[in-house]
Amino acid sequence: MTQPFFRQKDEMLSERPPPASTVGIIGWLRSNLFSNWINTSLTLLSLYILWMAVPSLIEWAFIKAQLSGDDRFACSEDGACWAWLDQRIGQFLYGLYPAKETWRINIAFVLLFPALAPWLIDNIPGKKWLRWYSIFYPFIAAWLLVGGWFGIIEGVTTNNLGGFALNLTVGLAGIVLSLPIGIMLALGRQSRLPLIRWFSVIFIETVRGVPLITLLFVSNILLPIFLPPDVALDAVIRVIIMVSAFASAYMAEVIRGGLQAIPKGQYEAASAMGLGYWQSMRLIILPQALKISIPGIVNTFIGLFKDTTLVIVIGLFDILGIANAMVSNPDWLGLSSETYVFVSLFFFAVCFSMSRYSMRLERKLDTDKR
């Protein structure tokens, strides 16, 4: 038998702060980096690797680097050679777009941000108007990039659109198209109507079952089948269609995974209160399914964005195509490290931003632990 036990009121323990070794920087270091011997040795190993790599990388990229010069012979042997940047940066950004017209791309780029804002930021004034604006933005941008205007502004053929501007154009268009198409395909695959279900399954499986590069190669044979005769499709439009179709097929499967994770009770509760199919999907099922699918969706977006470099196979020069051309140019022969590091930074910046944004979104939508 245990002894009966009680405390009188004047014996109650008062609150005291946690031990110093468990809070603050020391506490954090202790529990995260040096909690046991495995953790401690991993920490030390990582520090060693960083110590070896970072200083020499900085030395190569900045300290010993050559920043100016007319060709690679101006560069010393041991540092990076950035001399080409000055000459070539325009091509990396805009491709073969006429130099005196590049302001149009810049304006289109600046106008992009107010179009993205109402979808990405919660508390933004004039959200409703910005949403309307964002619906018109693709047309505004397309007109800025290629359209002409009464001879005052000249038309530009899309074949001249290149560099990172092309990656961004195709990537953004693909992202904006593939999400809704993917949602429709995912719903279609679960439809009770056989025709819709079969169409979705066939589309998803064929498109997902072949490499994107082959889709791009066959796009000029394949797409005209679905179009009226004598409509010639522009190369950039063709790429956008193919890249979006490809990403949509992946997207559909990612979202289907999310849909399957929603308990049957949610569908039942929605029907029991009289919501129709589209209402339950829009208000109940998709918000939850998309939330679960965020990691997969962003994964698909990132893959899509990097796949925009494949446009080279149909003769367009995106940033990677420009880089390839430059490293085989005798003036700058052998500068592949510098060039590809430079190109990677662009992709990394975009993909990493998407990843960070999605993590923030996931935390915000996590209604269980708020």
Partner 1 sequence: MPSTENQENANPNGPSIKIEGLNKWFGSFHVLRDINLDVNHGERIVVCGPSGSGKSTLIRCINRLEEHQEGKIVVDGFHLTNDLKQIDAVRSEVGMVFQSFNLFPHLTVLENCTLAPIWVRKQPKREAEAAAMEYLERVKIPEQANKFPGQLSGGQQQRVAIARSLCMKPKIMLFDEPTSALDPEMIKEVLDVMVDLAESGMTMLVVTHEMGFASQVADRVIFMDEGQIIEQNTPQEFFNNPQSDRTKLFLSQILSH
Cα 238 to Cα 170: distance, rounded to the nearest angstrom: 10
The answer to the question of residue 61 lying near partner 1 (CB under 8 A) is no
- The three-state secondary structure class of 70 is coil
Burial class of residue 141 (count of CB atoms within 10 Å of its CB; 0-12, 13-18, 19+) = buried
The answer to the question of residue 193 lying near partner 1 (CB under 8 A) is no
Q: Give Cα 86 distance to the centre of its chain.
A: 28
The answer to the question of residue 276 lying near partner 1 (CB under 8 A) is yes
Closest contact distance (angstroms) between CB of 258 and partner 1 is: 12
Burial class of residue 174 (count of CB atoms within 10 Å of its CB; 0-12, 13-18, 19+) = buried
Token pair, residue 175, equals 């992202």
- Nearest residue (CB) to partner 1, 287 versus 295: 287
The answer to the question of residue 265 lying near partner 1 (CB under 8 A) is yes
- Location of structure tokens 């010393």: 76
The answer to the question of residue 268 lying near partner 1 (CB under 8 A) is yes
DSSP designation for 124: -
DSSP designation for 3: P
For 253-283, letters b (16+ CB in 10 Å) and e give: bbbbebbeebeeeebeebeeeebeeeebbee
Among 13, 25, 221, 272, binds partner 1 (CB under 8 A): 272
The answer to the question of residue 191 lying near partner 1 (CB under 8 A) is no
Q: How many residues bind partner 1 (CB under 8 A)?
A: 22
The answer to the question of residue 122 lying near partner 1 (CB under 8 A) is no
User: Is 267:145 a contact under the CB 8 Å cutoff?
Assistant: no
The answer to the question of residue 275 lying near partner 1 (CB under 8 A) is yes
The answer to the question of residue 336 lying near partner 1 (CB under 8 A) is no
Q: How many CA atoms lie within 13 A of 171 on its CB side?
A: 26
Sites for partner 1 among residues 282-321 (CB under 8 A): 283-284, 287-288, 291
- Nearest residue (CB) to partner 1, 297 versus 304: 297
- Nearest residue (CB) to partner 1, 275 versus 325: 275
Q: How many CA atoms lie within 13 A of 248 on its CB side?
A: 28
The answer to the question of residue 269 lying near partner 1 (CB under 8 A) is yes
**Region near partner 1 per CB under 8 A, out of 157-165, 188-196, 250-258, 271-279:** 271-279
Among 3, 8, 14, 367, binds partner 1 (CB under 8 A): 367
Pure H helices in the chain:
24-32, 37-58, 83-94, 102-120, 127-146, 163-189, 194-208, 212-222, 235-260, 264-272, 277-280, 286-307, 319-327, 336-365
Closest contact distance (angstroms) between CB of 82 and partner 1 is: 49
The answer to the question of residue 273 lying near partner 1 (CB under 8 A) is yes
φ, ψ for residue 66 (rounded to 5)? -105, 125
Closest contact distance (angstroms) between CB of 269 and partner 1 is: 4
**Region near partner 1 per CB under 8 A, out of 166-174, 190-198, 258-266, 354-362:** 258-266
- Nearest residue (CB) to partner 1, 27 versus 296: 296
- Nearest residue (CB) to partner 1, 43 versus 266: 266
- Location of structure tokens 């304006």: 107
Closest contact distance (angstroms) between CB of 272 and partner 1 is: 4
The answer to the question of residue 279 lying near partner 1 (CB under 8 A) is yes
Contact residues for partner 1, defined by CB under 8 A: 263, 265-266, 268-269, 271-276, 279, 283-284, 287-288, 291, 365, 367-370
